[in-house]
A = this chain, B = another copy of it.
């Protein structure tokens, strides 16, 4: 019998408030944006990560798995599973590299390109809407700041 209504705790601010925490703010902001996209992607039967893979390959094909993982910000083990699923649905194709038996080359497939052409308009509309609501200047400013932060790791 686990109960014991302990006295309320309001600890001294050893840590910054979770409301003003950079990692949490980044997470929440991403959630707000993705909440707009997920219904569209679901409607087309692809997950957020699968869509990232397709998009990256839509920008450039072929790419080896390492490059693809890097650009789509997906870890190698996840990519292995995603590739398998997308290949089975013929949205992407997998090929080997002559001269290096380790590498796997991935390309967008015709069905993948069709998917991109379908999702693109809806996707763009959402980006535009977000940009409009936050304001174009702040939108660009935010992207710049994020880029600065991202470049810190280098």
Contacts and interface: CB of A to CB of B under 8 A. Distances in A.
A142 B15 contact: no
B2 A97 contact: yes
Number of chain copies forming the complex: 2
A47 interface: no
Interface string A1-35: 11111101111001111101011111111111111
A1 B99 contact: yes
Contact of A2 (B18, B96, B143): B96
A143 B21 CA distance: 8
A116 B120 CA distance: 45
Nearest to A23: B33
Q: Chain A: interface secondary structure? A: helix
23 contacts: A2-B99, A3-B100, A5-B105, A6-B61, A6-B105, A9-B57, A9-B62, A10-B60, A15-B120, A18-B59, A18-B72, A22-B130, A24-B73, A25-B143, A25-B146, A26-B26, A28-B146, A28-B150, A32-B149, A32-B152, A134-B152, A138-B148, A142-B149
Interface of A: 1-6, 8-11, 14-18, 20, 22-35, 37, 52, 55-62, 64, 71-73, 93-100, 103, 105, 107-108, 113, 116-117, 120, 123-124, 127, 130, 133-134, 138-139, 141-143, 145-150, 152-153
